[in-house]
Structure 1
Amino acid sequence: MIRPTPWYLVMPLCLGLTACNEARTPAEVSTAPTKSAAALMPASEPTFESIPPSSELMAQLRAKLRDPVDTAEEQQAIQEVEAELGTFTYARPDTLVAVDPTVEAPMGASFIEDSEWATARVQALYGADVSVSCLSRPCIQYGDFDGDGRRDLVVQVAEDVNDKSGIAFLLADQTHALLGAGRASPLGDDLIWMDKWSVVPRSSGNGSAVVLSTASQAARAELSLAPGPGGSRTVNTAWSCTASSQVPVMTGPNTPGGLVTRSGVFDTTGAYEAWKAFDANATTSQWISESWTSNPVWIGYEWSNGPRQITRYSLQFINGGLASRAPRDFQLQGWNGGAWVTLDSRTNEINWASNEVRHYNVTSPGSYGKYRLYVTEDNDSRAVIVAVSLGHITLSGANCDGSGGPLP
């Protein structure tokens, strides 16, 4: 039996497909629906993010009816609902709505609607192989990128063929720009390195820019204020914050400054002392730890003029003939007094080649006066650490806090 107000039968269909939040527009509405049909319609029009054809919607509705349609009256009521649904069509808007750029709210009925609009727009502009992605949060942001007082949209995208990440600017005046996603730029053609991104004021103070960043580097992107042919705008980009080495080139354990420390050394001749992992000879000199020990081995550096924030470090292994001496499991630790704090952990670092350099981003950077590489396993299969050797170590850092600074 059909209930007096069974629109709940239709709503699960909508909810089962996607969120219901895009307005439908009546192309033609019956002015005098029968009582049975009116009883089947909602008191106020629902909103839909996508609407299937009326025939599909009715097929799903029939399948979800609690009672079979087994009387002429019920069959007539169903047919009237189907006729009523057939009078509605849905048209997606093809322009953005000009709104206050300072308001953090969707341009359409929802953020999902904005994302769907962006997907259609991106593929129309750049081809079906470019799609909206969400490699890092947020996926979509808003700003006035051309300084016209209207709110524009920027969204993460990916070029699917080569799996290259990027961002697309979609402006209220229908102009656009693409950064990355296979397009060459000073930042490269792939923004896969990006950990986070944010909308910030332009360096001129007129409109908005985007800063893309990791803990150790940041880049800024600003659009040209005048569009070019076809409505495409130029993206001006540059690295504005990059990590640099925080340890000077050492000529001894405490010269020219700071202090290199270690748990031990392979012999007492000085040929493999720890400071040689920080000297200028990255491929000819090295630190070799104490040997045949069941304890972890470590090498570190301490500043004499205050703490540093290290956001990235690198290790270079130079002894290809004895690859078993390369570090396998290790931690980067920081110390300001008291207990050592683990900032980054790596395991199963195997298959080192001679002179190979491996770079690591620090997972939990902080400001510490002393750092050490704490190695708990080498690449030798024996139970103890036979020896660990490293040709060069860098400890790099910068205050890449997301501001990005002005373009040069």
Structure 2
Amino acid sequence: MRPISEETLSILKSQNLTGQNRFAHSLRFEGTDYYSPIQDQRTIQVSSTLWSPDFVIRSDGKVLACGITKSGSVYLKVVESERIFTTEPNTLDGATVFYQGSPLSDKPSSWDKARLFRSKSGKIHLFIIDGGEINIAPYKVLHFISQNGLGTDFVLKNTIVSWARLSDGPGTQYFDTAGICKPCQDNDGAIYLLGKLKITNLSGLDLANFAVYKSADDGNSWIEKYSNIASYNINFTGHGNAVCIGSSVFTVFSESGTYNQAKLYFSADKGESWQLSTEFLSFPKNSQGFQAHLNFWYGLDNRLYTVFKKINNICAIYSTTKIIPNLFSKNFLSDFSNYNLIADPVIGDTYFDTVPLLTVTPSGYIHLISRFSDIALEREQYSSPLSALSISINKGRGGANTAVIQANNNDGVLNPLNPDSPLYGVLQTNKQVIIKQGYGSDLVEAFTGLVDGFEMSTWPQTTQISLRDNLKKALDQTVTYGNQHTIQFDLQPIENIVGYLCYLAGIEVGEIEPTGIQVAKTFSWESYADCFQFLGDLASYEWGCDEYGKFYFRRDYQPDNMYVAYTFEEGVDITALNYSIKDDDLYYKVAVFGKSGETVISFEAPFLDATKYNLMPQKILKIDATEATTIAELKKIAERAIALMQSRTAIVNFSCVAVPWLQVGDFIGVYERSTGAASIYRISSLKLDMDTDSFTMSIDAYYYGDSIVPGELPEETASQTIAPTTNLIPEMTSNAAPSGVARASSVYTSAYEPWQAFNSTDADNYWNAITNNGWIEYQFPEKMIVDKYTLKARQATSYNDAMPKDWTLEGFDGSKWDVLDTRSSQTAWGVNEVRTYKFSNTTPYSKYRLNVSRNNGYIRLQLEQLAMFYGGGA
């Protein structure tokens, strides 16, 4: 269940659940489409002797660019703005020499390179290859850092690679023409630098592979993580940048042959190991094969791009969404068929040679930089409003949502093939749609998703558009591994299976609790949603995604903090809540007619909110009440009709305000104003329908328990009667049985799960962490008071230095951990020794943890037993 934001609460409170303005909605096809050149290709340096330009955006918004000459000189130049850099030719004119390296003439195939990179800390990193002279100077990769993010204070920080550059022959190693990649940085701040390493074998043939260097401290130090990405040395002729998505690193290169073929390799474990992607769609080897040089980039629009130079074309292969980062399709990025490929270009020539660098800037430009020139492309934004007849939003289990839009298509105005249609070129699958709802200008985003399909009907002339969000799209996939729709697990813990399925689906994991259950299961042609449902039912766990899009898989337990923002009038049947209102039910005024004898009598009453709802004066509700014989009786009937309209408007206004935030799994409070009593209900299904004249909200909920005040849980009033010598924690047989949940910060292997520290046995079964610090916790089924605990050491004397030395015992109050007891310098543990610790506490907590900052010196933290008690504390 996601908490309700303060912004949401303030909007709800400001509305006071009363009618204000007419309900409104906004519907737009909005997003970023493909890229297109903003102008013809243009040169970006003073002469054709300046090679391999690169650039970064400085902290002040200016452009820092670099290039290198055949004499080995690295030039730097500051350009006032990216717009100037993008549109004006010869912007490197006047660049100054920063570094003088070895000349290129003595190295037949090892060209110098310079690469600029700005890390998340704001520092600018400059990497330079100095190829060295044969048998004289060392071959080296130098790393400079600018701390101020302007490039005016570069200092040499590291020599990442250094070896003698020998004359060509067996065993010769060097970075060849492809040089080093543009670095990348993962979510944890680690920087990866990849280079194309060439090795001359015994036959004199140059074979190539990648060397990977990693810095976990923002470039202060580097280690070689992997020197051989592919399982074999191949002769490949082009390669792309390193690209990080979360904690995964991607790179792509082309394998030499009659026509080059691309390979995509990636590491899912921060560069520790690499594997070949089996789902990467490459161009076929045919007469239209692409040239050797290519590049790779992770886009601002969450697409994963690789760009190849085909014959007279630049082509992009991209992944359509980061939720499925390994599924690719193709698109021609730009057509250069009219550009001549010339051998010796001079300034002003229009051509496209190799593509050694592809980069993007925060303003949205893509730059395709060749040896001498730059083509700047910018993203095409599309924003097409649409007026809907009706909108239905289905908020499903797990936060995966769908929507259906119905719009008027009279005379084919919404036919996406009609050039005059507002949906021309827009109504296509996977186009983004944003739906907002609310009052007047107070529109709140209620749904963002992608077009799943559409259909048009001849009568009535309507267009129906089906939408689904990214999570729904990911969950709808069938389980796929290596292009096979079958995946088998053999006695694996459920939590491991869930985590692996999330990885395959491309879903970010937020929390997966240990279940203590192992299963053997084969998933074949099943969607990921079906798989998660099966595993959730098996373990009695909930699954879904929170408001941040992170997947969770955990026990269905009542949260410590419950956020309740919705109250309902007394007498409402919350288990079948269905409110609706139409303009047909609202009238400018009510006129009631009766008969007194032979005389017709009447009474009129105005609807005071008629102006708010734009009701015309001619719209009058006429009621024939022939049984009424007096004006007083007619007045009562009119007042009842007016009250009914006011009641309906109050209900619909409440529904409209609440709609954007209600989700399956949310808690709502039913508050009886006459008695002050309140109950908590949890939404199990939710459907929202809206059109220009009506609004309906349907909720199915189940009773969750009483609450003294809406939004609060009942306080613990029952006293604990367990004897002070009885362990409050039951004898655990798994992390979730027989009751409660055991967790830990880490587990060395599955043989040392945290529950073994709560199994109350004398056998040498214990919790074993990966590191020498960490925490272990137990969650009670209900809140308990603990004021004493015991720790027990292992039977093996040689491992007693693995016992905790310094720690705190903490209780979780629902939002933070309260420190209840602090211990330090707990040394010299004996065999099977049990130590008791008492402290003062009267507050019940549902979760307690032992948070160990240091053990007694062993490489891993271990604990034989942890027990908790009440009634014997200090």
Q: Is the TM value for this pair above 0.5?
A: no
Name the TM-score, length of structure 2 as normaliser: 0.17
Question: Would you tell me which structure has more helix in proportion to its own residues?
Answer: 1
Instruction: State the structure with bigger RCO (CA 8 A, min sep 6), 1 or 2.
Output: 1
Name the TM-score, length of structure 1 as normaliser: 0.35
